[in-house]
Amino acid sequence: MPKLTGRSFLIRYADDFVLGCEFEVDAHRLMAVLPKRFEKFGLTIHPEKSKMICFKGPSRFSAKSGPGTFDFLGFTHYWGMSRNGNWVVKRQTMKKRQARAMHNLYIYCRNSKHDPIKEQYRKLCEKLHGLYNFYGICGNYRPLLVLYEHVRICWR
């Protein structure tokens, strides 16, 4: 946008997007203009799903992580330390998505206990591979391990 005073970025996937602004003034301007722009094309912005958060990186001297987190495409984005000691944006499976996947796998194990073992194993592997392919990103190992252990317990 030519009228922004600082840097900005757009991350878009299908009908979801995140807009990042360097300055809060630019963010307020965008939040005021976007509904009008969308209205021109017969679209609306969902008021409960749209919000403005402060997600700036912590200072070098601060021991605290930056304020705010946000959820996007099934991941919670937050500030954390890298192995080198630098602040980076990390991603982890959203708690709701994790709980839903664990519940669905439990229901599958409960409802298919009379199926042949090989068939159960094949289907569980398919389900886990699908989840691993989507949620298997750097820094998201622990939630996937919890999911795996949950499946092992439920399948027994």
Instruction: Give the model confidence (pLDDT) of 26-52 as tens digits.
Output: 889 888 888 898 899 999 888 888 888
pTM of the model: 0.78
**Cα 61 to Cα 85: distance, rounded to the nearest angstrom:** 11
**CB-CB contact of 74 with 134 (8 Å):** yes
More confident residue, 137 or 59: 137
The distance from CA 106 to its chain's CA centroid, rounded to whole angstroms, is 23
**Averaged pLDDT, 97-123:** 95
Average pLDDT over residues 90-103: 95
67 pLDDT tier (thresholds 50, 70, 90): low
Tell me: pLDDT of 65 over 60. no
pLDDT given at position 105:
96
- Cα–Cα distance, 111 to 52 (Å, whole number): 43
What mean pLDDT is reported for the chain? 88
Record the tokens describing residue 94, joined without a space: 């959203």
In sequence order, the β-bridge partners of residue 89 are 79
Write out the two tokens for 155: 């399948």
CA distance 94 to 91: 9
Tokens of 39: 């209205």
